[in-house]
Amino acid sequence: EILKLLYRGADILILDEPTAVLGLLAGILRAGTITHNLLEPFALAFQAALVAYLLRQEYRGRLAWLFRQPLVALPVAVTLLQPMVLLSTFVPAYRPEGALAALDYAFTQLLVTAQLGLTESAFYGLFFQLIYLVAPQARPVVVARRPPPYGRTLNRRLQSLFIPLFTLMIAVLVYAVGATAIDIATGQAVDAMLRDATNGAEGMWQFISTGQSLIRQFAGEPELWSGDEEVCRARLQSSLQMLPYFSRLTAYDGEGEVLCTYPEPTPGETGPTPEEDELLEVVRETGGLQATRVHRGPDGRVILSFLSPLEKPGGGERHGVLVGRVEIDLNPLLEQVLTGLQWTMRRGEGFVVDVEGRIVVHPDPVRLLEPWELDQSRLPLETLPEGRGWVRESRDSRTNARQLACYVAVEGYPWAVVVLLPHEVVLGLATRIAAPLLLLLTALTGAVGVVIPLATSQLTRPLNLLARAAERIAQGDLEQPIRVAGDDEMAQVGKAFEKMRVGLKGRLEDLSLLLQVAQEVSATLDIAQGGPRILEGALQATGALVSRIVLLSATGDPQVVIGRGETVQGLGTLDRALALAARDVDHPLLIENLRRARTLAESGPLPEEIQAVVALPVHSKGRPVAVMWAGFSDPVRFEPSEVDLLSTLASQTAVLVENARLFQVAEGGRRRLAAILSSTGDAILVTDRDDRLLLVNPAAERALGLRADELVGRRVEETVLEPDLARILIEPLGRAGSLVEEVPLPGGRTFYASAATILSADGENIGRVVVMRDITHFKELDEMKSEFVATVSHDLRAPLTFMRGYATMLPMVGELNEKQREYLDKILVGIEKMGALIEDLLNLGRIEAGVGLEEKPCHLGAIVVEAVDGMRARAAARGLVLRLEPAEPAPIILGDATLLRQAVANLVDNAIKYTPSGGSVTVGLKAVGREVLITVADTGLGIAPEDQVRLFEKFYRIRRRDADEIQGSGLGLAIVKSIVERHGGRVWVESALNQGSTFTIALPIRTPPPEEEG
């Protein structure tokens, strides 16, 4: 049992080919220790392999899923194993003369082993099913992917349905025929046994009656008690020879002494047997007839003794007892009865038992007086009235083979006749009875086995034809017709497929025509070129005689006609009539018989060649722009597919008209734009998303000194443009999407460049436009202004010093009243502001002139930290958070540390002034490529795009209501720009209203010489 559990566990958990080997080993061990069956190893190996296969199969479907469950797989494997179990039981029990008995024994054993095997497999299946429920990962197959073999074709599916059903039906019929045949054979056997047993019981009654009658008759002879022994013996001899029944007669007197006996006793024979002696006294005292039990005589033979009193037939004095012995195996009457009990249905065996269950009469003398018993737990198959007898199924105590036992009691005597018939006889008779029907079923099975594939093939042939046709249709082959013979459902499906093929073919031809027309229409913007192609498509699709497009004016009147088809006189009247009739409707105008259209007839004589027309309005932007119509030579019933096709062609006409209109509008706009670009004095350059130059206007050609054909179509990096201009054309723009810078060009000219991103309708970047205006004159004016301001600032410095000095000396002259002190403070504050302004102007002038600029190695990180720390007190006073982001190791650059510190401080101071209380200012530092970026971001008021353009100009301040109270000279950002540009860098701002601003300083990384670093 442990090995069985192991191999069943291997079936489910190991699940590979070694399970069969393990099952084989378990079977060998089991056969050697328990069953001693040579086929047991192969049976268990087969079962193990079958269970492994069922659990590992990956077929889809409910049935396959069910077979993958251990609770189902194990019982199924046990069930499929039963034929092998039957064979393994039949082969050892087979004998040439007892094949049916061996088969009966095998079936009987099969019923027992099958029940045990199914119970056992159900238990193990439930056990491992629970394991799978607890640990689903133990399942060998989680997702089934393969289609089952029986589901790959309809033919197989039908066969998988019909063959099991027919097999089940045949099995049921075979079982019914077999069971019926066995019932009939059993009934015949029971009748024969009861007949023979009843006859035997009557024969035994006659035997007993004969013995009693003879012994009484012989006991009434007076010679037996005459006292003459010779006369007595002669009388016994005469009686014995009269009828061969008794084997010995002995007369006893009243004292139990022998009067005479015949034949003469043998030398070792002494007196009566104990059984006889027991009844002698009874007969002497009571009279009457007695018979002993069947017992063995002095010579060892089995005998039956009859006893009768010696007296006259009419009664009277009893003179002794006459004993007649019957030798069971030699009595002719018994032999005759036994002969009748034998060979019931040629195989039966009959004998007689007494009330003690001993065999008293048997054709085999050796078995006489043997005990005989029968298991009577089973219900009898047949019973005789008054319980005189029955027929039961039992087993032979010697061979354990099944048999029928018939028991009939002898009337009036404690004996019973028993007839035994091997069950093999019943099976043989049943076989002969069922053989014709089984042969018929076999022939029917073979015929059906041939018919089912043919029938399913016949049923699926039209489906296969339709499947191949559908595959051809799916592949685009619509030329081959579909023909399915007959009038049944398959033929109707075939006709539907053929109708579908024709419809698809027509639809594909229509689609191909529409595609061709659409391609040709999309390739032209001229109605005179695209219109005829649309009309030719209408003629090709409908078979019309003529087709026309009537273009309408803005007022809806017919204006231009484009036509194709046959030459027909008088079409102008029909053109106008159809255009006026169809322009104001929103659906096709169908006239199947033109002669019945009275409205059209009123407009004038209509062409005789045209019998039917279909007119379709062509709308563009909600108004009619044309009418397309087709005329037919005969009255026509228009199909919806034809009308849909013409409607599609009409929509192509609308597209063509609209494209032509849009082209005219675009062409006009292009010409106006070309004129503007040619006449403007600003230089304009346009690039695409790949930084290729698309447009260079004449002003740009003059400004750059290059021809447009040398630049257009080339990438910016491949041109000879000035580096600053090239950078503006390709440098990524900030979140504002624009960039404004001054661009110096050769010849001392300076241009004001504004770059903006060109966005598509989806917001995608598709290019950039740069507009440049010559500001050289303005730069000269600015320089003159700067010189003037510097001169004035320098000249004002000394008077301001005198004014400050004398103002501070006024309190020394005398005590000032309150009003005087107030005025004096205002004068001093004004002098301080003017002094600061003059100082800023002088610093700006020195920076722009490059006076005092020292280029030394400086640590930019330390400069930023110092500038930020110097502003923390101001930030805290305004309730702001001044944050310095952690920076990467900043590089050492060449520059003026004082000026750079001032530039950073100016940006931070500017952010603090324009950020409301509760906001934050963040300063950052990072290296990007060959530049280092310093950013100052705030959460302040933000700067409008129009203000960003002039933000770094001197004295420019933002004019906003919420910024009027903020004090400043407008020079802080101009100083930042001058400092950064003197260091070869750039500065810009990214901002949006109410979203804060971010100022960025980009300084080039210039590595100091080694000697300077030291």
Helix (H) or strand (E) holding 857, with range, is: strand 856-859
Rg (CA), the chain: 65
Report pLDDT for 209.
94
- Phi, psi (deg, nearest 5) at residue 947: -80, -25
Q: Which two tokens stand for residue 581?
A: 């009739």
Helix pair angle (640-679, 489-522), 10° resolution: 20
Report pLDDT for 5.
43
Query: Does residue 970 come out as left (phi exceeding 0), alpha (psi in the -120 to 50 range) or beta?
Result: left
Specify the higher pLDDT residue, 635 or 24.
Answer: 635
Type of residue found at 917: S
Q: Rounded to whole angstroms, how far apart are CA atoms 19 and 56?
A: 12
Q: Looking at the domain 505-656, which fold is it?
A: Beta-Lactamase (3.30.450)
Q: In a 3-state reduction of DSSP, which class is residue 673?
A: helix
Type of residue found at 774: D
Which range is least confidently modeled, 429-433, 587-591, 890-894?
A: 890-894
Q: What is the tens place of the pLDDT at every residue in 798-831?
A: 676 767 776 777 777 777 788 777 777 777 777 7
**pLDDT at 191 > cutoff 90:** yes
Reference 649, options 552, 511, 557, 554; nearest CA is 511
Confidence of residue 963 (pLDDT cuts 50, 70, 90): low
Q: What is the tens place of the pLDDT at every residue in 513-523?
A: 777 777 777 77
Range 776-852: architecture per CATH: Orthogonal Bundle (1.10)
Q: Rounded to whole angstroms, how far apart are CA atoms 801 and 159?
A: 119
Report pLDDT for 962.
58
Beta strands 881-884 and 920-928: pairing type?
parallel
Helix (H) or strand (E) holding 82, with range, is: helix 70-93
Give CA 870 to chain center in angstroms: 70
Q: Rounded to whole angstroms, how far apart are CA atoms 533 and 537?
A: 6
Reference 603, options 635, 576, 628; nearest CA is 576
Reference 543, options 636, 469, 608, 650; nearest CA is 636
Angle at Cα 514 formed by Cα 509 and Cα 520, nearest 5°? 130
Q: Rounded to whole angstroms, how far apart are CA atoms 876 and 783?
A: 39
Domain(s) labelled CATH 3.30.450.20 in the chain stretch across 182-207+332-427, 220-327, 680-774
Mean pLDDT of 128-156: 80
Report pLDDT for 6.
44
Specify the higher pLDDT residue, 136 or 737.
Answer: 136
Helix (H) or strand (E) holding 512, with range, is: helix 489-522
DSSP 136-174: GGG-S-SS--BPPGGGSSHHHHHHHHHHHHHHHHHHHHH
Reference 246, options 277, 211, 276, 284; nearest CA is 211
**Sequence-distant (≥ 6) Cβ neighbours of residue 11 within 8 angstroms:** 19, 23, 48, 51, 52, 55, 74
Specify the higher pLDDT residue, 376 or 382.
Answer: 382
**pLDDT at 13 > cutoff 70:** no
User: Do residues 617 and 624 touch, judged by C-beta distance below 8 A?
Assistant: yes
E-only strand ranges, 680-810? 683-688, 693-696, 738-745, 749-759, 765-774
**Pick among 2.40.160.210, 3.40.50.1820, 3.40.50.300, 3.30.565.10: CATH of 853-1014:** 3.30.565.10
Give CA 709 to chain center in angstroms: 62
Give CA 571 to chain center in angstroms: 65
Q: Which two tokens stand for residue 819?
A: 């009003």
CA distances to 328, 979, 1001 from 934, rounded to whole Å, are: 139, 14, 5
Report pLDDT for 260.
92
Confidence of residue 168 (pLDDT cuts 50, 70, 90): confident
Q: Which residues sit opposite 591 in a β-bridge?
A: 613
Which range is least confidently modeled, 101-105, 493-497, 662-666?
A: 101-105
Report pLDDT for 920.
92
Q: Which two tokens stand for residue 801?
A: 């010093």
User: Do residues 309 and 282 touch, judged by C-beta distance below 8 A?
Assistant: no
Q: What is the maximum alpha-carbon separation in the chain? A: 211
Report pLDDT for 1012.
42
Confidence of residue 414 (pLDDT cuts 50, 70, 90): very high
User: Do residues 564 and 535 touch, judged by C-beta distance below 8 A?
Assistant: yes
Range 220-327: architecture per CATH: 2-Layer Sandwich (3.30)
Q: Rounded to whole angstroms, how far apart are CA atoms 842 and 836?
A: 10
Type of residue found at 57: Q
Range 182-207+332-427: architecture per CATH: 2-Layer Sandwich (3.30)
Q: Rounded to whole angstroms, how far apart are CA atoms 498 and 503?
A: 8
Q: Which two tokens stand for residue 256?
A: 């139990």
User: Do residues 396 and 321 touch, judged by C-beta distance below 8 A?
Assistant: no
Reference 941, options 992, 981, 1009; nearest CA is 992
Reference 166, options 441, 434, 431, 439; nearest CA is 441
User: Do residues 486 and 469 touch, judged by C-beta distance below 8 A?
Assistant: no
CA distances to 203, 209, 305, 651 from 212, rounded to whole Å, are: 14, 5, 10, 129
Report pLDDT for 2.
43
Q: How many CB atoms lie within 10 A of CB 526?
A: 11
User: Do residues 416 and 410 touch, judged by C-beta distance below 8 A?
Assistant: yes
CB neighbour class for 284 (10 Å; exposed up to 12, middle 13-18, buried from 19): buried
Q: Rounded to whole angstroms, how far apart are CA atoms 552 and 620?
A: 12
Average pLDDT, the chain: 81
Domain(s) labelled CATH 3.30.450.40 in the chain stretch across 505-656
Q: Which two tokens stand for residue 609?
A: 């060649």
The DSSP output letter for 312 is -
Mean pLDDT of 836-846: 61
Confidence of residue 663 (pLDDT cuts 50, 70, 90): confident
Report pLDDT for 308.
93
| Portion of the chain with pLDDT greater than 90, in percent | 15
Mean pLDDT of 927-940: 89
Q: In a 3-state reduction of DSSP, which class is residue 983?
A: coil
Helix (H) or strand (E) holding 909, with range, is: helix 897-913
Q: In a 3-state reduction of DSSP, which class is residue 527?
A: helix
| Portion of the chain with pLDDT greater than 70, in percent | 88
**pLDDT at 678 > cutoff 70:** yes
User: Do residues 410 and 209 touch, judged by C-beta distance below 8 A?
Assistant: no
Report pLDDT for 552.
85
**Sequence-distant (≥ 6) Cβ neighbours of residue 707 within 8 angstroms:** 701
Mean pLDDT of 275-285: 89
Mean pLDDT of 409-417: 93
For the entire predicted model, the pTM comes to: 0.50
Type of residue found at 771: V
CB neighbour class for 736 (10 Å; exposed up to 12, middle 13-18, buried from 19): middle
Q: What is the tens place of the pLDDT at every residue in 899-924?
A: 888 889 889 988 898 888 889 999 99
Domain(s) labelled CATH 3.30.565.10 in the chain stretch across 853-1014
Q: Which two tokens stand for residue 223?
A: 């010679």
User: Do residues 236 and 251 touch, judged by C-beta distance below 8 A?
Assistant: yes
**pLDDT at 794 > cutoff 60:** no
Q: Which two tokens stand for residue 806?
A: 């004398």
Q: Which two tokens stand for residue 416?
A: 């019973």
**pLDDT at 358 > cutoff 90:** yes
Q: Which two tokens stand for residue 918?
A: 């509760």
Q: Looking at the domain 680-774, which fold is it?
A: Beta-Lactamase (3.30.450)
Mean pLDDT of 339-361: 90
Q: What is the tens place of the pLDDT at every residue in 102-133?
A: 777 777 777 778 888 888 888 888 988 898 88
Helix (H) or strand (E) holding 124, with range, is: helix 99-134
